Amino acid sequence: MKTMEQHGMYASFPRSGKDTRHTHYCPGCGHGIINKLVAETCAELGLQDRTVFVDPVGCGVFTYYYWDAAHISAAHGRASAVATGVARARPEAVVIAYQGDGDLGAIGFNNAFQAASRGERFGCIFVNNSLYAMTGGQMAPTTLDGEKTTTTPFGRDPALTGAPLHVCEVFDKLDAPVYIARVSVAGTQRIMQAKKAIRKVFEIQRDGLGYAMLEILAPCPTNLKASPLKAQEFCATEMEKEFPLAVFRDKTAEATPAKPREIPRAASCAELFGGAAKTSGDAAGGGTAAVAEEKRFKFAGYGGQGILSLGLCIAEAALHEGLQTLWYPSYGPEQRGGSANCSVVVSGSPIGAPAADRPDVLVCMNQPAFERFAGDVPPGGTIVVDESVPEGCAKTAEGVRTVRWPAIRLAAEMGVPKAANTMMLAALARLGCTGLARDSLEKALVESFKKKPELGEKNREIFAKAVEKAEACGL
């Protein structure tokens, strides 16, 4: 006798916190049936170890609690985009995106449509229950004419909201897809046909033949406010009238295994921004790039204080050393006076995420910035804060070095109040907490004024003086 695991499902679903096989689906929900069919098919074909499911946002969001295979959760509507990435990066994988009609038909339509148009090598299982289910039964593009939902309480009016979207028929206009079909799970016979179609989607992926779209009509008794039986009837009659069951296309016989797509080598920042010729390291291996550990920086203050330029200088200096870097600004709509911050990541290897939520180095030019970010710096990190920020206005973790530095005052005393950010750069150079050479920082600073070379030279002088001053102050 087969165990439950052999059917592709985990032995128990820990979501409810105990050893249970109850799912989160409502009684009579089409997702429950489809989940079982998908898991069984994956296991029967022996593909669990090769399969990557891309989970949606919607009622199908928790499939990773049920299907015993690899999973990636995508943001709402982005499952086809994520599936594209997985399929390209792992040509040996069987990639299946699981999406609902709000997820695919509305928010993510263009993602899904373009992936189909490109003939990406993944299968899309598209569950159409005619509304946004998880969020409370709002109208979706697939809602039937006259169907009542929470946002169409008098029934969908095509004059106001258009006609139902026929995803399969639209996708069938594309050249690339190998297989496009619509099935239903409203009744035993239909469920058996659905299982065959699901198998087809898996086989196409197993054999690397290309893109497959399978739409599955499914009842949602909860939002239809109907019993499971009535919801099934609605699905089998009303929905099928609008969305006839059909195999729109099946080119599996003539399809040949798609060649894995070449993933272009990611350009280094130096190549992108032109610093390659000036690098001291060798980005292809060796030199600074090969040994540098990742460092995350956050620069924060008011707009107009040169916060974003300061971050850019660090990023540019990293380019001069042949490192990978990302600069990620964040600012309000105000040109001046609003809050501004930027994250900079510097690394000897490709960088995964651009944000610096736990920065190794934090530079704060004002009190709100210090209050907001000081607690994010982990032990071992460094905060450089302008001395105008009152001491003790925010807590820092134990083991964080906090350096108070009169950047704003010094700049004013030197008659260049706008150069407070250069003062900060000098402090960073002196402290050595960037891991970047002083020469690289200076070069990046001068280059940031390349449209006004006279200002570049002036800032070089200011920088040199500020470094001396920092040294004199014991930094």
**Helix (H), strand (E) counts: the chain:** 17, 15
Distance CA 392, CA 60 (A): 48
Least distance CB 221 / ligand SF4 (angstroms): 5
Measured CA distances, 77 to 80, 112, 155, 394 (Å): 8, 8, 25, 39
**C-beta of 56 vs 221, nearer to ligand SF4:** 221
The dihedrals phi and psi of 347, each to the nearest 5 degrees, come to -155, 155
Taking each helix axis from N to C end, the angle separating 30-44 and 188-206, rounded to the nearest 10 degrees, works out to: 40
Burial of 18 (0-12, 13-18, 19+ CB in 10 A): exposed
Distance CA 128, CA 214 (A): 10
Least distance CB 129 / ligand SF4 (angstroms): 5
Q: What is the DSSP pairing of strand 324-331 with strand 339-347?
A: antiparallel
**C-beta of 31 vs 166, nearer to ligand SF4:** 31
Token code pair at residue 164: 């139902």
**Strand order, beta sheet including 123-128:** 70-73, 51-55, 94-100, 123-128, 212-217, 179-184, 246-250
**C-beta of 23 vs 279, nearer to ligand SF4:** 23
Least distance CB 232 / ligand SF4 (angstroms): 11
**C-beta of 103 vs 360, nearer to ligand SF4:** 103
Burial of 270 (0-12, 13-18, 19+ CB in 10 A): buried
**C-beta of 187 vs 337, nearer to ligand SF4:** 187
Least distance CB 110 / ligand SF4 (angstroms): 24
Footprint of ligand SF4 (CB under 6 A) = 25-26, 29, 31, 59, 129, 133-134, 220-223
Nearest CA-CA partner of 402 in 424, 380, 425: 380
Burial of 261 (0-12, 13-18, 19+ CB in 10 A): middle
Least distance CB 44 / ligand SF4 (angstroms): 25
Least distance CB 19 / ligand SF4 (angstroms): 22
Least distance CB 237 / ligand SF4 (angstroms): 18
**C-beta of 69 vs 224, nearer to ligand SF4:** 224
**C-beta of 25 vs 405, nearer to ligand SF4:** 25
